[in-house]
Structure 1
């Protein structure tokens, strides 16, 4: 059994221009809105920055409104699982999901590096596979 550490977690997909300061701006807007970013992953491509920001589900409305006010686009939001992993634990998590026939769409570590954020279109079976 692998415990799911954080329920009520949401991944926001934020789209920015690919320029210096974008990540700082997202973090600043979130903090100013009273929202704690619990994880973050950023990528660039086609002159855009794509940020996956992990927040508590209860904070989604506040951070989305604050980002919109700052003219920062939130392209998507979805429920994710946040699973603790120790040394070698990522293998166990991913193997359990594979054995449960769950396809992982997105995975990144939460701040602190001891938890992995998992997005899938099959959240119910993912949760079952990990318990």
Structure 2
């Protein structure tokens, strides 16, 4: 089961490099990532397939993992309007999307308030 980890590193050169190097050394594939900075800190969301192993590796690398959430990972066509169609389907079911980002392999990651319902809805 995929997890979205939230990390809050200091905003300085090399923070993402350290994340990527630690995962690479441990043979953890980062399947999706969203990162931005503000106020001297970064906010990084990273999608990993093996949460227990990844949490151990990231913690040992000195990275501050603040949260780990179950997510919905769904295929999404690479064409105009595809994101809107997926999000409309979720919204019409009364599910709130709290965060979304794209992942490798033409997939979309959704952090939602009802993971099980969203997975059933999207066929995951």
Structure 1 length-normalised TM: 0.86
Give RMSD over aligned pairs.
1.2
Alignment partner of 1:109 is 2:102: yes
Residue number among 21, 27, 37 corresponding to 2:20 in the alignment: 27
Structure 1 regions of 5+ residues with no counterpart? 1-7
TM superposition outliers: structure 1 runs of 4+ over 4 Å: none
Count of aligned pairs:
121
**Correspondence 1:71-110 to 2 at 5 A:** 71-86=62-77, 87=79, 88-110=81-103
Q: Which has the higher contact order (CA 8 A, sep 6+)?
A: 1
Q: What is residue 46 of structure 1 aligned with on the other side? A: 39
Q: Distance in 2 between matches of 1:89 and 1:125?
A: 20
TM-score, normalised with respect to structure 2 = 0.91
C-alpha deviation, 1:16, in angstroms: 0.5
